[in-house]
Amino acid sequence: MLEEQTPAGLALRPDLVSVVIGVNDTLRCTFDIHAVATRLDEVYRAFTRQGAVLLTACLPDPGATLGLPGALARPLARRQRAVNAVVHALSERYGAVHLHAAEGAWLSERAMWSADRLHPGERGHRQLAVRFHALLAGTGLAEGPAPSPEPDFPAPTRAASLWWLATAGTGWVARRCTDLLPQLLGLAADEMRHRARGTSARLDLRATAAVSAALAALSVTERADAV
């Protein structure tokens, strides 16, 4: 995002720009909340310096949307909470229009999601557009009627969804099996060990401390740049 999408976006000199960390970014073995915070801060700063209004969102727990077992879901939930905490903090710092999309009844509505259960389908994207429009209208940045929440196209049939999973979906699964799966199994084993010992809270505290350290490092860098 920093090397390719950001320069391309800046060249357009947008009035509004949406910067959202996809759930896929939490499903990588290279996940590092310090790197996430640093890179996101650079992107936010670059666009706000040009005068663009940022649109940001926090996203739901991928383990829950995928219906994974607890030992696998909890490490992913912890990562997503960490990302959301960083997004919340930086959105406030840069005055972004922020959509809290991590919770709500819409998450459990199957019609909102695509076949992979990680990305919104057309109805889900329209729901996000409606909610962003309401936020923008509330700040005087949106004019005209809200977008329709109803899709223009019929939802994919079950057969079409299964075909997608059997074709394009297999590539995604293969990449995650070589990228995330070995690490996730290790995280799950660690999760079960802590759960057996009654020390699961330590994992949450460790993740919270990592977020605090990442944000504190940004503050130090910001002060150094100002000198």
Per-residue pLDDT reduced to its tens digit, 7-56: 999 999 999 999 998 777 777 778 899 999 999 999 999 999 999 999 99
Share above pLDDT 90 across residues of the chain, in percent, rounded to a whole number: 52
Q: What is the pLDDT of residue 35?
A: 93
| 148-166 b/e (C-beta count within 10 Å ≥ 16 → b) | eeeeeeeeeeeeebeeeee
| Boundaries of domain holding 21 | 5-226
Question: Which residue intervals of 100-199 are DSSP H helices?
Answer: 122-138, 158-166, 168-179, 181-197
Give the number of domains in the chain. Answer: 1
The confidence score (pLDDT) of residue 227 equals 39
CATH, residue 166 = 3.40.50
Contact 147, 129 (CB under 8 A): yes
SS3 content of the chain, % helix, strand, coil (to 5): 65, 5, 30
Other Cβ atoms within 10 Å of 64 Cβ, number: 15
pLDDT in tens, 127-175: 999 999 999 999 999 988 999 999 888 877 777 766 666 666 566 656 6
Question: CA 80, CA 84: separation in Å to the nearest integer?
Answer: 6
Neighbouring residues of 223: CB distance < 8 A, sequence distance ≥ 6 = none
d(C-alpha 58, C-alpha 101), whole Å: 6
